[in-house]
């Protein structure tokens, strides 16, 4: 299927029209989604007709939106029976901004309940016996299957970068709060981050620029001359499968071959402690954010999210405050890392997608960077066992999203030359 940039070029040149792109996307969903299950529902014809007449930098670009984002024209159920049939009055901010940029919100994609851990029925398009990852399961799968060129996800632990890695697509977890989470169901209000999926890092940059109006589509360097790239050695690398460690090494070798200086970065203790504090921050805030659902619908919600809330309900405020202090110290340590390197390379997941639909995998490789708020881009194209994809994360200093996207695009060009 055509990439986002191909569609934008075709529509702006008159070779295609938004109406044709929307019809083609609907056909792709009808043809592929029966066995994948990425979409929950498609937008009403009136909305798609309005999008067919839209103009703007994303005219003709169809988007799959994770069903924790409010949509004015479709039910928004948060992956939960508690919200069955729930109809918001207004679009979430990011949805509204995408419509203003001319995009067509094609439909809602599956999410784990409240964007936590209870898996959806969605399958990995690369191998249907494997999980697509979570919590943005349908968004990653819809892009990986070529149904839509762009999808919205979110990350509180690893819910953009991990499914992007499992499904072999580019994923972007922006600097914390770069994209608004207004109208997106809250799980943890100091962690929840709106994110994007597309075929390539270049497509992500064009989408992010069009939606935000920020100059996030910086020119992609022809080579890595002058770049210093940190090869991150975390305190939990013993949990990473050898094939993923090899993929990160390959990414470093490719960058070195393109002129980068590679330096090994041992994880500072402050970042190991910050990673260990993520669960306490996440759970304590989720018990408050979901207080009504937890108390009035406890027996209806999924067993995994219920267990997380049961555990977190026992946390004392002092424990949460200590975890927040560790997070703040971690953010300072993360900032110090970037005094010596331009970007960091690290695993996007512990390995390839597990051969199960009963779990969406483990956020171990992602949750630190969600907590520190650094921009992360998953670069697909590394090959794991059984032909399953592996992704490598390009991580930049907080606020340097254009740099993260540009260097990720460079790495992607090295991994899979265009
Ligand atoms: N929402 C999340 O990020 C949870 C996960 O990593 O699966």
- Kindly list the averaged pLDDT for each block of 10 residues, start to end, along the chain of length 418: 94 98 98 98 98 98 98 98 98 98 98 98 98 98 98 98 98 98 98 98 98 96 97 98 98 98 98 98 98 96 97 98 98 97 98 98 98 98 91 98 98 91
* Ligand 1 contact via 361 beta carbon (within 6 Å): no
Q: Which atom of ligand 1 is nearest to the CA of 162?
A: 6
Of 382, 364, 390, nearest to 158 (Cα)?
Answer: 364
* Ligand 1 contact via 157 beta carbon (within 6 Å): yes
Q: Which two tokens stand for residue 406?
A: 């540009």
* Residue 50: Cβ-neighbour burial (10 angstroms; 0-12, 13-18, 19+): middle
Predicted TM-score of the model (pTM): 0.98
Maximum alpha-carbon separation in the chain: 61
Ligand 1, pocket-test mutation among 112, 118, 138, 309, most atoms within 8 A of CB: 112
Query: Could you tell me whether strands 261-266 and 228-233 are parallel, antiparallel, or unpaired per DSSP bridges?
Result: parallel
ipTM of the complex: 0.94
Q: How far apart are CA 270 and CA 328, in angstroms?
A: 10
The enclosing H or E element of 389 equals strand 389-396
pLDDT in the model for residue 40: 98
Return left, alpha or beta for 28; rule: phi > 0 is left, psi -120 to 50 is alpha, else beta.
Answer: alpha
CB 114 within 8 A of CB 354: no
pLDDT in the model for residue 384: 86
The protein residue with its alpha carbon nearest to ligand 1, atom 4, reads 157
CB 271 within 8 A of CB 333: yes
Secondary structure class of 25 (helix, strand, coil): helix
* Ligand 1 contact via 161 beta carbon (within 6 Å): no
* Ligand 1 contact via 363 beta carbon (within 6 Å): yes
pLDDT in the model for residue 150: 98
Give the DSSP letter string of 316-367: -HHHHHHHHHHHHHHHHHHHHHTTT-SEEEEESSSSS--S-SS-----TTTH
The enclosing H or E element of 172 equals strand 170-173
Q: How far apart are CA 24 and CA 105, in angstroms?
A: 14
- Cβ neighbours of residue 86 closer than 8 Å, sequence gap 6 or more: 75, 76, 77, 78
* Ligand 1 contact via 131 beta carbon (within 6 Å): no
Q: Please give the DSSP secondary-structure letter assigned to residue 129.
A: T
Ligand 1, pocket-test mutation among 69, 111, 115, 164, most atoms within 8 A of CB: 115
C-alpha of residue 135 to centroid of ligand 1, in Å? 5
Q: How far apart are CA 41 and CA 37, in angstroms?
A: 10
How many other CB atoms are found less than 10 A from the CB of residue 176? 21
- How many Å from the N-terminal Cα to the C-terminal Cα in the chain? 15
């Amino acid at each position: 299927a055509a990439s986002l940039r191909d569609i934008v070029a075709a529509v702006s040149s008159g070779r295609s029209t938004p109406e044709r792109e929307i019809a083609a996307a609907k056909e792709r969903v009808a043809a592929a989604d029966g066995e994948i299950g990425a979409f929950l529902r498609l937008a009403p014809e009136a909305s798609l007709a309005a999008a067919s007449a839209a103009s703007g930098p994303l005219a003709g670009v169809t988007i799959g939106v994770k069903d924790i984002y409010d949509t004015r024209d479709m039910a928004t159920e948060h992956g939960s029976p508690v919200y069955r049939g729930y109809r918001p009055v207004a679009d979430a901010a990011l949805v509204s901004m995408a419509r203003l940029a001319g995009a067509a919100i094609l439909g809602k994609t599956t999410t784990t309940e409240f964007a936590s851990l209870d898996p959806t029925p969605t399958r990995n398009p690369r191998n249907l016996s494997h999980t697509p990852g979570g919590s943005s399961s349908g968004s990653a799968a819809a892009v990986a299957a070529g149904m839509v060129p762009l999808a919205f996800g979110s990350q509180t632990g690893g819910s953009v970068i991990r499914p992007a890695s499992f499904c072999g697509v580019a994923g972007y977890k922006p600097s914390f709060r770069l994209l608004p989470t207004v109208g997106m169901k809250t799980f943890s209000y100091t962690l929840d981050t709106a994110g994007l999926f597309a075929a390539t890092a270049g497509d992500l940059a064009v989408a992010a620029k069009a939606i935000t109006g920020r100059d996030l589509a910086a020119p992609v360097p022809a080579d890595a001359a002058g770049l210093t790239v940190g090869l991150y050695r975390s305190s939990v690398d013993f949990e990473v499968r050898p094939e993923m460690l090899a993929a990160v090494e390959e990414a470093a070798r490719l960058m070195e071959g393109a002129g980068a200086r590679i330096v090994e970065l041992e994880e500072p203790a402050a970042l190991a402690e910050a990673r260990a504090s993520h669960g306490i921050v996440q759970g304590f805030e989720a018990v408050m954010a979901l207080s009504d659902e937890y108390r009035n619908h406890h027996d209806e919600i999924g067993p995994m999210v219920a267990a997380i809330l049961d555990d977190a309900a026992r946390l004392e405020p002092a424990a949460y405050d200590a975890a927040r202090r560790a997070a703040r110290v971690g953010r300072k340590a993360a900032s110090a890392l970037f005094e010596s390197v331009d970007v960091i390379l690290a695993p996007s997941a512990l390995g390839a997608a597990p051969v199960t639909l009963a779990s969406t995998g483990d956020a171990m490789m992602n949750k630190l960077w969600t907590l520190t708020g650094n921009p992360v881009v998953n670069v697909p194209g590394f090959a794991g066992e059984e032909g399953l994809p592996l992704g490598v994360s390009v991580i930049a200093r907080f606020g340097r999203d254009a740099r993260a996207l540009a260097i990720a695009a460079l790495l992607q060009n090295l991994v899979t030359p265009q």
